[in-house]
């Protein structure tokens, strides 16, 4: 199964809301004891391994969010034969911090990273794992919000959402998507 986490490269974006996809992928790599490496002359980081006899490939495109789909020009075709499964992980402003949601397919929902993935992949037929970052406060610009770092109470909830999304993503390796959606799409208690 191929997992692509969306975010922006660079230290200044490291813990921003928009890098939720990178954070989930990093958490998954930690749980599965996988290490990232950068292939020569490629614009992504990759970690590969196995989980319960299933091959897993984690990718972080090293392009900016709006160009995430360019990664498909560089990923070897062999990674697409992994049960023909693609899972893309990214932030979502329509969910509260701490929540995650799994969708089996759909539109880009106004997310430029997902829009780029759809264009690069050539299909809307892939699973999405969304991590809640909530909407900006009144008067705050969207760009400032997504590129900002959560603090205080929001930070604690954001970290719970990252953990929850990583658990959901790992579950997709052994449980069908409908059951994972049923379990993780409920609001947190």
Say if CB 173 and CB 54 are below 8 A apart: yes
Among the listed residues 18, 74, 111, 145, the single catalytic one is 18
CA–CA dist 52, 24 (Å, integer) = 20
CA–CA dist 2, 39 (Å, integer) = 16
Domain boundaries, the chain: 2-184
φ/ψ of residue 19, rounded to 5: -95, 20
Residue of 20, 61, 4 whose CA lies nearest to 147: 20
CATH number for the segment(s) 2-184? 3.40.50.1470
Q: What local confidence, expressed as pLDDT, does residue 74 receive?
A: 87
Q: What local confidence, expressed as pLDDT, does residue 188 receive?
A: 60
Q: What local confidence, expressed as pLDDT, does residue 110 receive?
A: 83
Q: What local confidence, expressed as pLDDT, does residue 80 receive?
A: 67
* DSSP assignment of 37-102: B--TT-SEEEEEEEETTEEEEEEEE-S-GGGGGGGGGTS-GGGGGSTT-EEEEEEETTS-TT-EEE
Q: What local confidence, expressed as pLDDT, does residue 82 receive?
A: 53
Matching residue, tokens 């490496």: 37
Q: What local confidence, expressed as pLDDT, does residue 81 receive?
A: 61
pLDDT in tens, 45-104: 999 999 988 889 999 999 999 999 999 988 877 776 655 689 999 999 999 999 999 999
CA–CA dist 92, 139 (Å, integer) = 19
Annotation marks residue 18 as catalytic = yes
pLDDT in tens, 103-159: 998 888 889 999 999 999 989 999 999 999 999 888 889 999 999 999 888 999 999
């Amino acid at each position: 199964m191929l997992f692509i986490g969306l975010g922006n490269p660079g230290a200044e974006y490291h813990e921003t809301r928009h890098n939720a996809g990178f954070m989930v992928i990093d958490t998954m790599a930690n749980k599965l004891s996988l290490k990232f490496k950068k292939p020569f002359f490629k614009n992504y980081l990759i970690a590969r391994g196995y989980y319960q006899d299933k091959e897993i490939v984690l990718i972080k495109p090293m392009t900016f969010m709006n160009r995430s789909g360019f990664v498909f020009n560089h990923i070897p075709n062999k990674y697409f034969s992994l049960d023909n499964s693609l899972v893309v992980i990214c932030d979502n402003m329509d969910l509260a911090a701490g929540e995650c949601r799994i969708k089996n397919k759909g539109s880009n929902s106004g997310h430029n990273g997902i829009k780029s993935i759809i264009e690069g992949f050539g299909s809307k037929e892939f699973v999405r794992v969304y991590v809640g970052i909530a909407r900006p406060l009144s008067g705050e610009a969207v760009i400032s919000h997504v590129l900002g770092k959560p603090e205080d109470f929001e930070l604690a909830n954001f970290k719970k959402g990252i953990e929850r999304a990583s658990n959901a993503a790992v579950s997709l390796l052994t449980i069908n998507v409908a059951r994972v959606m049923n379990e993780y799409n409920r609001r947190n208690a």
